[in-house]
């Protein structure tokens, strides 16, 4: 009587391969390999094999399962199962060969399972259809590599930074302030300052767990209180020159352009009490550019997407826009903490007159320039979603210190020497 070891030897299958089949997800295939390993030195008894599996008279799989798992055609599988060539008590020589071939095919199938797939041929990588925002487009300009990790890989949850948490808190406080105080000229500067301080205290307390330490929390809170005084003073100066109404705060906008979807939150939209063109404000927690001409060049090149996007959506909704402005919430000691772009006609005449003010840097732009900037952004969206890129390189001056992917990035620039003391 032949034994199971003869069948395995004939197939040229090692114990390691059988162990791989044991780990197969299919229970029938795993049971077959496990039984063969256990009985490889036993006589080839169909009864012993079935007893090992606890199968009674049943086989562990049918012909169709066998054909699919072992990679053989259904006709061959039917013959094997009809004759029961693997498990017959007295296996003839020809049947032993057939059993060995069947086991060999099973081993080849296992080997194929563990082979690494061949790499796809090189091709440009396109982003799936996505809703674009100003922050997504600006991030691509700062560092295409980080944009790749963030939006195409979605590899990590970015916990953010102290700057992001500070910005979230101050945005919440200003939103609460202007949902109630819509016409600042109806209030005193002291009333606005106290109310903003109250809203900041509430917002900071809610966000306390988001700060990594009590030191971060206290430093951010003290800084915010100083900025609040500065903000209240500036707001009253603006309201005295030209009484205004805060029409919208944290206003969600969704729109389409050039076959792409866009989304954005406009922090604040003002309109003169007497009516007229609007002013769009965006709050910034970082340092703003003190050179309006340099900032305008960035807008024209599509490197700063926010104001061009917001201008586009409000014009599409029928508004005339007189000014687009960035308000820095970073530090009241900064020389420039409001950067304003006044919209002018082709002759250079401003849509609305403004009073020069300390700390407010002003530039001018035409409607045609903002529309051209929007076209540049649409071309970038086309490139990302339709044409694709062969490579997403690190930016010229990437913000690696604040990047959650820095350690995994093979293209990050070499770190310069850090000098802590002289």
Give yes or no: residues 368 and 307 share one domain: yes
Give yes or no: residues 179 and 88 share one domain: no
List pLDDT tens digits, range 118-173.
877 888 899 988 999 999 999 999 999 999 998 888 777 767 788 889 999 999 99
In a domain, 217, yes or no: yes
Strands 338-344 and 278-284: unpaired
pLDDT of residue 402: 77
Give yes or no: residues 216 and 102 share one domain: no
Give yes or no: residues 92 and 210 share one domain: no
Give yes or no: residues 328 and 266 share one domain: yes
Structural domain span for residue 301? 137-406
Q: How far apart are CA 18 and CA 32, in angstroms?
A: 9
pLDDT of residue 302: 94
Report helix, strand or coil for 7.
helix
What CATH number corresponds to the domain at position 384? 3.90.320
Give yes or no: residues 68 and 154 share one domain: no
- Structure tokens given for 88: 């017959």
pLDDT in tens, the chain (422 residues): 345 566 556 555 666 766 777 776 666 566 666 766 666 655 544 444 445 444 434 344 455 554 554 444 555 555 444 444 344 333 334 544 555 555 555 545 544 545 677 877 888 899 988 999 999 999 999 999 999 998 888 777 767 788 889 999 999 999 999 999 999 999 999 999 999 999 999 999 999 999 999 999 999 999 999 999 999 999 999 998 889 999 999 999 999 999 999 999 999 999 999 999 999 999 999 888 889 999 999 999 999 999 999 999 999 999 999 999 999 999 888 888 899 999 998 777 776 667 788 888 999 999 999 999 999 999 999 999 999 998 898 888 887 877 888 888 888 877 765 455 44
Give yes or no: residues 312 and 183 share one domain: yes
In a domain, 421, yes or no: no
In a domain, 366, yes or no: yes
Closest CA to 250 of 341, 169, 179: 179
In a domain, 85, yes or no: yes
Residue reference for tokens 């205004």: 244
pLDDT of residue 168: 95
Give yes or no: residues 198 and 51 share one domain: no
State if pTM tops 0.85. no
Give yes or no: residues 274 and 373 share one domain: yes
Q: Where are the alpha helices (DSSP H) in 261-366?
A: 292-300, 306-316
Give yes or no: residues 152 and 109 share one domain: no
pLDDT of residue 260: 95
Q: Which of 63, 98, 113 is the last residue of a domain?
A: 113
pLDDT of residue 31: 64
Give yes or no: residues 157 and 257 share one domain: yes
Give yes or no: residues 100 and 240 share one domain: no
Q: What is the DSSP string of 79-111?
A: HHHHHTTTT-SS--HHHHHHHHHHHHHHHHHHH
Which own/partner pairs from 364-372 qualify as long-range (CB within 8 Å, at least 24 positions apart)? 365/296, 365/299, 365/341, 367/315, 367/343, 369/296, 369/299, 369/300, 370/299, 370/307, 370/308, 370/311, 370/312, 370/343, 371/312, 372/300
In a domain, 119, yes or no: no
Tally of domains in the chain: 2
In a domain, 172, yes or no: yes
In a domain, 420, yes or no: no
In a domain, 63, yes or no: yes
């Amino acid at each position: 009587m032949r034994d199971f070891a003869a069948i395995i030897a004939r197939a040229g299958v090692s114990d390691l391969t059988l162990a791989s089949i044991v780990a197969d997800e299919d229970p029938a295939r795993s049971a077959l390999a496990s039984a063969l390993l256990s009985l490889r030195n036993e006589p080839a008894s169909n009864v012993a094999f079935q007893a090992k599996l606890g199968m009674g008279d049943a086989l562990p799989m049918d012909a169709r399962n066998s054909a699919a798992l072992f990679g053989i055609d259904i006709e061959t599988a039917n013959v094997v199962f009809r004759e029961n060539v693997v498990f017959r008590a007295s296996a003839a020589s020809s049947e032993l060969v057939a059993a060995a071939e069947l086991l060999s095919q099973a081993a080849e199938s296992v080997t194929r399972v563990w082979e690494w797939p061949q790499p796809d041929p090189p091709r440009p990588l396109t982003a799936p259809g996505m809703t674009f925002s100003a922050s997504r487009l600006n991030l691509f300009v700062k560092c295409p590599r980080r944009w790749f990790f963030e939006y195409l890989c979605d590899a990590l949850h970015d916990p953010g930074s102290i700057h992001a948490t500070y910005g979230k808190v101050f945005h919440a406080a200003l939103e609460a302030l202007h949902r109630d105080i819509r016409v600042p000229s109806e209030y005193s500067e002291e009333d606005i300052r106290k109310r903003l301080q109250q809203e900041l205290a509430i917002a900071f307390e809610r966000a306390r767990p988001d700060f990594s330490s009590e030191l971060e929390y206290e430093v951010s809170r003290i800084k915010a209180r100083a900025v609040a005084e500065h903000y209240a003073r500036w707001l009253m100066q603006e309201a005295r020159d030209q009484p205004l109404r805060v029409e919208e705060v944290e206003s969600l906008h969704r729109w389409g352009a050039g076959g792409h979807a866009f989304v954005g939150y406009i922090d604040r939209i003002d309109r003169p009490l007497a009516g007229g063109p609007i002013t769009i404000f965006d709050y910034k927690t970082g340092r703003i550019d003190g050179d309006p001409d340099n900032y305008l060049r960035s807008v024209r090149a599509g490197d700063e997407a926010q104001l061009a996007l917001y201008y586009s959506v409000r014009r599409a909704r029928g508004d005339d826009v007189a000014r687009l402005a960035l308000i820095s919430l970073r530090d009241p000691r900064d020389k420039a903490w409001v950067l304003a772009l006044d919209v002018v006609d082709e002759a250079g005449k401003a849509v609305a007159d403004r009073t020069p003010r300390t700390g407010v840097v002003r530039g001018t732009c035409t409607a045609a320039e903002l529309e051209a900037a929007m076209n540049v952004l649409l071309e970038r969206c086309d490139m990302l979603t339709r044409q694709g890129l062969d490579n997403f390189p690190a930016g010229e001056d990437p913000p690696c210190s604040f990047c959650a992917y820095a350690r995994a990035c093979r293209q990050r620039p070499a770190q310069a020497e850090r000098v802590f003391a002289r």
